[in-house]
Chain A
């Protein structure tokens, strides 16, 4: 009996030391695009994700990129298992999640939060996957605002015939320029501020976080302003090849990312509060309608061109209508 007990203890001890040890950590890599590089807020968010991922058994090696094109092509070439990119680039991997930035679809941060939370629900994993790829996380990057050199142009119809500094790779912006009848001044992230400030364009667009560092105040002073109606929501997303990760990793990752919404938005909110009140152009309700309708026209055109995914447009419309059941669009069937 005693021998049996000792044997049992030995067997049990051996089994425990083998079976209850720490799970093996798996090495993976992530290419991270942050316009400010490793000092920027997105890279810091990637580091928080890195620490969190360790608790899920993944050890991530991070590489910072200040050029999104290079980060994207390195991910495409398989040099990293994951990539932290803007939704604009993620759209080419995961059509659905990349459509969340659809122009004018989410005019407030609350609506964006609801949408991100809805998409992090395990029931809709398929809305985050597309072929070999999966969106593992979504973070807010700040609302994008229209900046004007002349505040009298605050109705979107006034932009007809005006020049707008437009990022050439941004299909939504080029379509919007086309639909409002404006003309495009081709620009890059590195050049749009100079074009606007020097008066070579009547309007440009930027998240609030870029306004002070790029001295866009110069362009809007003395007669211009910032239209307080978000033309879109910039989001940063983590995209990966799902075969590189354990089953269920995506659901865990998206659920955690949704809890980081406020932390990710803190710098943006501070940047928005820092803009002096005199620079904001408030848009009256009736003019807001004009903006909304023009943006919807852009969204529908891009949906029909297969740029935006119809399911996501539908989800975002539901989110809008859950917040404002009386809105006219809730009775129609356009999106």
Chain B
């Protein structure tokens, strides 16, 4: 009887030990598969909805392999970025309905949609914040010096910085619901210097400039945030990855200068039709376009009560008096 128990215990122990080895190996395999294939596949897709839903669904599964001792920070970071975008889209939707309710003079509707908007900003801030924490776990806390970053890791480094910036913006919009550390802007501005801006389509320069433009007093002496942003946009346009434009429009939206926002959105729309997007990074293009489209829709909703064109190529306004047209119509 005792022998049987001993045998049973031995079998269970071996099985359990094997299971944990199998899990860890699976985690490692999953992580390297994600880095080698899933993330590049994500990045080449322009279907934001699919990516964000995938991130929301797969994020917890990928992150659960941490329990087996596997290192899955980078894969989890990308999944959480996708998940953050889902919440961000919901916040945008609620914001448009809130603007519509204000236009219609419906107080309760406005208050309710505003409450929904704040909730979704909070969820987005938590998810982006989680992505940023994975970035810090992997690359180490920012101590003012660049970590050693391999060529394969540079893109993840850029995504990690961007997630921090998005986390803090959404946290502000949710009354600090996610409790994102106020150190993030200085981490983003400092860390952006660790990457070659030209190689990454001007995004590092844009990240630094957007921090300067958003935090009063953060611009170092002798630096011009707007000029740097323009340089970043130029680099992005040439490369066909226009993340810098999204950050530029976000910064302008922060300043509340509607005419400038309109001008930048129209420029973005125009450049998309002129310079083809880089195929490997269609996802980042789609993300930037979505931000511009949302800013455009906000203006349309406020001025007309409905959304604007999908390619954000025009704004409501009076038709200019056209002399050529007058000549055509003369004496008819």
B82 in the interface (beta carbon within 8 A)? no
Query: A51, B182: Cβ atoms under 8 Å?
Result: no
Query: A213, B114: Cβ atoms under 8 Å?
Result: no
* CA distance in complex: A35, B255 (Å): 9
Number of interface residues of B (CB under 8 A): 34
Partner of B182, one of A37, A66, A189, A213: A213
B108 in the interface (beta carbon within 8 A)? yes
In the complex, how many angstroms separate the beta carbon of A120 from the nearest chain B beta carbon?
A: 20
A63 in the interface (beta carbon within 8 A)? yes
User: Chain A residues near B185 (CB, 8 Å)?
Assistant: 213
Partner of A38, one of B183, B186, B256: B256
User: Chain A residues near B101 (CB, 8 Å)?
Assistant: 51, 54
Chain A 13-53: CB-based contact to B (< 8 A → 1; otherwise 0): 00000000010010000000001111111011001101111
Query: B175, A44: Cβ atoms under 8 Å?
Result: yes
User: Chain A residues near B220 (CB, 8 Å)?
Assistant: 194
User: Chain A residues near B217 (CB, 8 Å)?
Assistant: 189-194, 210, 214
Query: B176, A266: Cβ atoms under 8 Å?
Result: yes
* CA distance in complex: A209, B254 (Å): 18
User: Chain B residues near A64 (CB, 8 Å)?
Assistant: 254-256
* CA distance in complex: A40, B168 (Å): 10
Query: A39, B175: Cβ atoms under 8 Å?
Result: no
* CA distance in complex: A44, B185 (Å): 19
Q: What total of A-B pairs shows CB separation below 8 Å?
A: 108
Partner of A39, one of B106, B173, B218: B173
In the complex, how many angstroms separate the beta carbon of B274 from the nearest chain A beta carbon?
A: 29
Chain B 93-136: CB-based contact to A (< 8 A → 1; otherwise 0): 00000100110011110110010000000000000000000000
Query: A263, B175: Cβ atoms under 8 Å?
Result: yes
B216 in the interface (beta carbon within 8 A)? yes
B219 in the interface (beta carbon within 8 A)? yes
Query: B169, A213: Cβ atoms under 8 Å?
Result: no
A65 in the interface (beta carbon within 8 A)? yes
A55 in the interface (beta carbon within 8 A)? yes
Query: A266, B172: Cβ atoms under 8 Å?
Result: no
In the complex, how many angstroms separate the beta carbon of A267 from the nearest chain B beta carbon?
A: 4
* CA distance in complex: A64, B213 (Å): 14
Query: B111, A52: Cβ atoms under 8 Å?
Result: yes
Given contacts A54-B107, A190-B217, A215 and B186 within 8 Å (CB-CB)? yes
User: Chain B residues near A215 (CB, 8 Å)?
Assistant: 186
Residue of A nearest to B179 (CB): A270
Query: A37, B256: Cβ atoms under 8 Å?
Result: yes
In the complex, how many angstroms separate the beta carbon of A79 from the nearest chain B beta carbon?
A: 14
A212 in the interface (beta carbon within 8 A)? yes
Query: A41, B111: Cβ atoms under 8 Å?
Result: no
User: Chain B residues near A53 (CB, 8 Å)?
Assistant: 107
User: Chain A residues near B186 (CB, 8 Å)?
Assistant: 212-213, 215
Residue of A nearest to B250 (CB): A39
In the complex, how many angstroms separate the beta carbon of A196 from the nearest chain B beta carbon?
A: 10
In the complex, how many angstroms separate the beta carbon of A197 from the nearest chain B beta carbon?
A: 10
Query: A40, B255: Cβ atoms under 8 Å?
Result: no
* CA distance in complex: A209, B220 (Å): 19
The 9 A-B pairs with the shortest beta carbon distances in the complex, nearest first, are: A64-B256, A54-B107, A55-B107, A25-B105, A212-B182, A37-B254, A35-B216, A51-B110, A267-B176
Q: Can you pick out 20 interface pairs between chain A and chain B where the beta carbons lie within 8 Å of each other?
A: A36-B172, A37-B253, A40-B254, A41-B175, A44-B173, A47-B114, A48-B114, A54-B102, A54-B105, A54-B111, A66-B216, A66-B255, A190-B219, A193-B218, A212-B186, A213-B215, A214-B218, A267-B172, A267-B175, A274-B182
